[in-house]
Amino acid sequence: MNSKEKLWILTAQCPSRLGTVDVVTRSLAETENYVVAMNSFDDRATNSFSIRVEFRPQNGDASLQKLREIFTERAAGFNMDWQITEPEHRTRVAILVSKYDHCLNDLLYRYRTGELAIEIPLIISNHPDLQHLADWHGIPYHHLPITPDTKAEQEAQIWKLITDANCELVVLARYMQVLSPEMSAKLDGWAINIHHSLLPGFKGAKPYHQAWAKGVKLVGATAHYVNDDLDEGPIITQGVQAVDHSHYPEELVARGQDIESQTLAKAVRYHIEKRVFLTGNRTVVFPD
């Protein structure tokens, strides 16, 4: 169980301008909200400013109410898009998966132990194979088969399930289907995908076997937001591990799956802890 102190989080993003840090910290101080940790970044490439503050109200609800009143007016003057997240908030996550179970297993373990502050109201799959995992955790499992002729109908069902469950995040935990441009557009910025990262970029079936045949020396994984560019959305985090000639294809697969699981879990955690800010097709990510 995570014993870390639970704090309120204020996040804000706006065009770069003198006084952005001051308006945030001054508003917190004047309303008796104690700053515990703060990260900020001014992106010269996009002329945008991002800030994340963990804070503790010194006077309970009164401090928070004063902060919301004062900061609403001040942030408007900076054209800030901002949000305050309460400590007990648990992000509602829909998980999409196919047959590979390693990423799903890892997320369910972290959910069960409380390492990830999430609720999982549903798991959606185009195969029935992982029903038992969902049943063991008491999570509804929706088997939605798909063919080229039924893709639009199947995605409409997925969208309805996600929205009906009031999900705030969608995680593609090795969901082996290419989303349509329409579905990708709907999920832009709030769906996370995971895939292997190998150099060269091996395409098609059995990428780790292809990598072994070429004698790769690194295996890795990339977690990124979904957009209409296949596997090329804004990157949240990546993982990598060195390998050598002694690792056979099966060992590369096992190591790759471990990295995929860890990298996806880290990306989900960064997202739910409000550490990720989108700036065009790039991300600002504040680490722990």
Strand (E) or helix (H) holding 23: helix 20-30
Cis peptide bond prior to 140, omega within 30° of 0: no
Determine the Cα–Cα distance for residues 202 and 195; give it in Å rounded to an integer.
Answer: 11
Q: How far apart are CA 196 and CA 205, in angstroms?
A: 12
Question: Which residues are registered as beta bridge partners of 194?
Answer: 223
- Rounded to 5°, angle at Cα 65 from 61 and 69: 170
The one catalytic residue among 164, 231, 244, 258: 231
Question: Is 231 among the residues known to form the active site?
Answer: yes
Q: Please state, in angstroms and as integers, the Cα–Cα distance from residue 187 to each residue in 165, 181, 228, 233, 251, following that order.
A: 15, 10, 10, 11, 34
Parallel, antiparallel, or unpaired: how do β-strands 91-97 and 169-172 relate?
A: parallel
Residue 243 backbone phi and psi in degrees, to 5 = -135, 170
Single-letter amino acid code for the residue at 87: P
How does 107-121 read in b/e, with b if 16+ C-beta sit within 10 Å? bbebbeeeebbbbbb
**DSSP line for 141-156:** EEE----TTTHHHHHH
Hey, how many other C-beta atoms are within 10 angstroms of the C-beta on 137? 15
User: How many CA atoms within 13 Å lie on the side-chain side of 6?
Assistant: 13
Q: Give start and end residues of each alpha helix (H) in 194-273.
A: 207-214, 249-272
The catalytic residue positions are 231
